[in-house]
Amino acid sequence: MPGRHQLKRQLRERVSRWTQPRDVILDILGRSKEHLSAKEIYDALYMDHPGIGLTTVYRTLELFHRLRVVQKVASPDGQGRYELRPGESKWHHHHLICLSCGKIIDYQDFAEEELQLVKKTEKVLSQKHNFMIFDHNIEFLGLCEKCRKAGAEA
């Protein structure tokens, strides 16, 4: 993954204005090992930056998502959760999402085989539907070990 300074430089070249909220939100995402909701990001920045509102966080995350800087993962609670996108194919991963507790597990198992199949699928779909595909996201929905042991249902 490119360093945060390199990523910031690339973003500054792609957006008309680089603002403090964008800088702060990118830093929070870069430091986190978790998939964060907009509200969690807002909570993390509020003490030091009370002038940055929740609406700004949502707009910034949507901008970063459109620019393909962050990956948005749907969560069972209806909130999108965000993580910085991997910059290199070796960091390419997908997600297992628990429908009970919302836990998101990154996985890279079968990454090479999966990428080969996805690229083949993208090529066929692009040609068949005359559609330019930019990205894909694979999510498996189910129950984590803890929720299964607790007898949770999806």
How far CA 68 is from CA of 116, 127, 152, 153, in Å, comes to 21, 23, 35, 34
Which of the two residues, 11 and 51, has the higher pLDDT score?
A: 51
Judged by DSSP in three states, 10 sits in helix
d(CA 154, CA 152): 7
Question: Mean pLDDT across the chain, nearest whole number?
Answer: 88
Q: Residues for the chain: how many in total?
A: 154
- As a whole number, mean pLDDT of residues 32-47 equals 95
Confidence band of 104 (pLDDT split at 50, 70, 90)? very high
Task: Encode pLDDT of 112-154 as tens digits.
Answer: 888 889 899 999 999 999 999 988 888 899 999 999 999 877 6
Name the β-bridge partners of 139.
Answer: 95
pLDDT digits (tens, 9 = 90+) for 11-25: 888 888 889 999 999
In this model, does residue 93 exceed pLDDT 90? Answer: no
Convert 80-95 to b/e letters by CB count within 10 Å (16 or more is b): bbbbbbeeeeeeebbb
How far is CA 113 from each of CA 96, 137, 150, rounded to the nearest angstrom?
18, 15, 34
| pLDDT for the residue 131 | 96
Instruction: Please enumerate in sequence order all residues whose Cβ is within 8 A of that of 85, keeping only pairs 6 or more positions apart, or say none.
Output: 68, 69, 70, 71
Q: What pLDDT does 1 receive?
A: 46
Q: Give the global pTM.
A: 0.78
